C-alpha cells in the first residue's frame, strides 16, 4: 500500500491524537462511571480498539510514499528550485542536467549539490531541519524528511540487533573552517584535502548529510557498517564517497558518511551494490578552483 506524502502526514497526526485522547477517555470513564462493573465488557472492548489503533499507527508509519510522488518528494527534500527559472539558471552539466543556483546553493536537476567544485555560501544556514539550528554543531539538526527516514532506518537496524547512531550532523561554515585548518596544520593541505572539506564545501553544512558510529574506516568491517552499505539506499541515503571513486569525489572512502537524496536517486546510485557517485551520475567535477 502507498499513500501520497500529505495523506501520510494527516494519517500520522490523526493517530497521534487518537493514541493520546482515547487512553485518557478510557481512564476517565472507568473511574467516574458508578456503574462501571456492569459496563466492564464495553470498557474491555474500548481497550482492545485502543490497542488496535496504536498497533495500526505503527503499520501506517511504514507505508511507502507512492512511486509517482517520489520525484516530488525528492525535489522538495533537496530544496529544489522551480524547473528552469532564468534567474537561477547557471548552465548544463556534461550529461545535460540543468545547474541552478538559488540563495547561495547549487542544484542539479533539483538536487542540492556540494563538492569541491560547488560550494555553499558562507551565510547559508538550512531552515527545514528537525531541530532548529542555533549552534555551530548539531547532531539532530538534520533536514526534516531525511531525519524521518533516518529514524525508520535506525529502528529497522535495531530490530535485527544493530546499533547505528549519528556521530556528526550539521556543521556550520565557521566550524568547518576551524576543523579543516586544524587538519592542515596537522597533515598539510594536500593530505587534509583528501579527508576534510574546506569551509563551504562540506555536505554537513547542508543538513542533508551525517556521519555514523565510529567515523573510521573500520566501520565497514562491522555488522553495522555492512548493513548500512547494503541497505541505506532503501531509506533514500547514499554512501557519498564510495570505495574506488576517490579520484572522482576527491575524497577517500568514507563508509560512515551518508547523504540523503531520496529513494528514487538513491536506488539509481546504489546500482545493485556497485555505487555510482553524484559526480558520475550528473556529469560534474569535484575539484577546487
Ligand atoms: Zn561526514
Give 270 Cα–ligand 1 centroid separation in angstroms.
18
Question: Which residues make up the environment of ion ligand 1, defined by Cβ < 5 Å?
Answer: 211, 257
Write down the pLDDT at residue 256: 97
Ligand 1: centre distance to CA 244 (Å): 18
In this model, does residue 19 exceed pLDDT 70? yes
C-alpha 10 – ligand 1 centre gap (Å) = 33
Q: Using CA atoms, how far apart are residues 136 and 204, in angstroms rounded to an integer?
A: 11
Q: Which of left, alpha, beta for 246 (phi over 0: left; psi -120 to 50: alpha)? A: alpha
Q: Which residue has the higher pLDDT, 118 or 17?
A: 118
Angle 25-29-32 from CA coordinates, rounded to 5°: 135
The yes-or-no verdict on residue 82 having pLDDT over 80 is no
From residue 134, how far is each of 127, 138, 141, 151, 166 by CA, in Å? Answer: 11, 8, 9, 22, 18
Whole-angstrom distance, CA of residue 287 vs CA of residue 289: 6
- Average pLDDT (119-133) is 96
Which residues make Cβ contacts (< 8 Å) with residue 218, sequence separation at least 6? 225
Strand order in the sheet with 166-168: 166-168, 209-212, 257-260, 237-239
What is the distance in A from the centroid of ligand 1 to the CA of 210? 5
167 C-alpha to center of ligand 1: Å? 9
Mean pLDDT value across residues 94-119: 97
Ligand 1 geometric centre to CA of 257 (Å): 4
- 77 pLDDT exceeds 50? no
Q: Is 210 helix (H, G, I), strand (E, B) or coil?
A: strand
Q: Check: pTM over 0.85? Answer yes or no.
A: no
| Residue-wise pLDDT tens digits, 28-61 | 777 777 666 667 777 777 777 776 766 665 555 5
- The rounded Å distance from CA 55 to ligand 1 centre is 36
For residue 131, the CA-to-ligand 1 centroid distance in Å is 19
Residues with a known catalytic role = 254
Residue 289 has pLDDT above 70, yes or no: yes
CB 115 within 8 A of CB 108: no
Distance from C-alpha of 218 to C-alpha of 180, rounded to nearest angstrom: 22
Q: How confident is the model at residue 76, as a pLDDT?
A: 42
Residues forming beta bridges with residue 21, ordered by sequence position: none
Q: Band the pLDDT of 199: cuts 50, 70, 90.
A: very high
Amino acid at each position: 500500500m502507498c499513500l501520497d506524502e500529505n495523506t501520510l502526514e494527516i494519517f500520522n497526526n490523526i493517530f497521534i491524537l487518537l493514541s493520546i485522547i482515547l487512553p485518557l477517555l478510557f481512564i476517565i470513564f472507568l473511574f467516574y462511571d458508578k456503574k462501571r462493573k456492569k459496563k466492564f465488557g464495553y470498557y474491555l472492548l474500548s481497550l482492545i480498539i485502543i490497542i488496535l489503533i496504536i498497533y495500526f499507527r505503527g503499520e501506517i508509519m511504514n507505508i511507502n510514499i507512492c512511486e509517482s510522488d517520489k520525484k516530488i518528494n525528492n525535489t522538495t527534500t533537496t530544496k529544489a528550485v522551480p524547473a528552469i527559472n532564468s534567474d537561477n539558471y547557471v548552465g548544463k552539466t556534461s550529461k545535460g542536467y540543468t545547474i541552478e543556483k538559488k540563495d547561495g546553493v547549487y542544484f542539479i536537476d533539483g538536487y542540492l549539490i556540494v563538492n569541491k567544485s560547488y560550494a555553499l555560501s558562507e551565510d547559508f544556514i538550512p531552515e527545514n531541519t528537525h531541530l532548529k539550528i542555533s549552534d555551530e554543531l548539531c547532531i539532530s539538526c538534520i533536514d526534516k524528511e531525511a531525519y524521518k527516514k533516518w529514524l525508520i532506518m535506525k529502528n529497522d537496524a535495531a530490530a535485527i540487533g544493530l546499533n547505528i547512531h549519528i556521530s556528526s550532523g550539521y556543521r556550520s561554515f565557521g566550524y568547518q573552517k576551524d576543523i579543516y585548518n586544524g587538519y592542515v596544520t596537522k597533515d598539510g593541505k594536500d593530505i587534509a584535502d583528501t579527508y576534510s572539506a574546506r569551509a563551504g564545501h562540506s555536505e554537513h553544512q547542508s543538513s542533508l548529510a551525517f556521519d555514523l558510529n565510529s567515523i573510521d574506516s573500520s566501520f565497514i568491517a562491522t555488522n553495522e557498517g555492512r548493513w548500512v552499505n547494503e541497505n541505506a539506499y532503501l531509506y533514500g541515503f547514499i554512501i557519498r564517497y564510495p570505495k574506488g571513486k576517490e579520484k572522482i569525489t576527491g575524497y577517500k572512502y568514507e563508509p560512515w558518511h551518508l547523504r540523503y537524496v531520496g529513494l528514487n536517486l538513491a536506488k539509481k546510485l546504489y546500482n545493485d551494490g556497485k555505487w555510482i557517485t553524484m559526480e558520475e551520475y550528473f556529469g560534474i567535477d569535484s575539484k577546487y578552483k
